[in-house]
Chains A and B, each alone.
Chain A
């Protein structure tokens, strides 16, 4: 079964440093997403990406965050200057083109645990 792959599985970084979280979405999916889950809290939407541009973002996704699809397979989330409160599990997801899909396929990766110290 196709998977969304995320690397690394765990990243520790010092406060103020830049981090890049990487994701390889399912190859025939067209919509890409980042979500985060602070320990003990619910999963929260960060951003959606379609046709090489951000289609929607949440209040959490401020100027410190950016996303990019640098080639045909990778989808990255960059945090420019990490803060302690950025420590969380970050999930990448991808979905099919909804208007053409009957089953709303939407798949999450296993996540990257980011720890800011």
Chain B
């Protein structure tokens, strides 16, 4: 069964600090790995998308890494802002011909404080 595990479950950091979120997955056949940001009561918003051949992808203050051999990914957030407070979800896609079915992790709840 396809699974995506994330750590930590929750994290509190001070504004301006950096943090790194972790993701491990067992999804087959692997198509791509995405990191989403989800505000409470809202739909997930894509931050980065990586295929198996990509090791790193940046989007502003967000940098994602992927090790397809160990099936691990990380999301690094630099110079955090209060608006970064949200759930960060690692999502892995498999492609079986029926479209991109996404398997979601449980997310890391990030809170940025003054």
Which residues in A have some Cβ–Cβ distance to B below 8 Å?
A: 4, 31, 33, 35, 41-45, 48, 50, 55-56, 89, 91, 95, 98, 103-104, 106-111, 113
In angstroms, how far is the closest chain B Cβ from the Cβ of A111? 5
* Complex A-B, nearest 6 residue pairs according to Cβ-Cβ distance, in ascending order: A55-B98, A56-B98, A108-B43, A31-B99, A48-B99, A43-B104
Q: List the B residue with the shortest CB-CB distance to A50.
A: B99
Is B29's CB within 8 Å of the partner chain A? no
Is B41's CB within 8 Å of the partner chain A? yes
Task: Assess A33 versus B99: contact at CB under 8 Å? Given A104-B32, A108-B45.
Answer: yes
Contact status A45-B101, CB under 8 Å: yes
Sample (25) of A-B pairs whose CB atoms are under 8 Å apart:
A31-B99, A33-B101, A33-B102, A35-B102, A35-B104, A42-B104, A42-B105, A42-B107, A43-B44, A44-B104, A45-B103, A50-B98, A56-B96, A56-B98, A91-B43, A95-B100, A98-B95, A104-B31, A104-B32, A106-B34, A106-B49, A108-B43, A108-B44, A109-B43, A113-B41
Task: Assess A106 versus B105: contact at CB under 8 Å? Given A89-B41, A111-B42.
Answer: no
Q: Chain B at the A interface: mostly helix, strand, loop or mixed? A: strand
Which residues in B have some Cβ–Cβ distance to A below 8 Å?
A: 31-32, 34, 41-46, 49, 89, 93, 95-107
**A98 CA / B44 CA spacing, docked (Å):** 20
Q: Chain A at the B interface: mostly helix, strand, loop or mixed? A: strand
Contact status A111-B103, CB under 8 Å: no
Contact status A104-B49, CB under 8 Å: yes
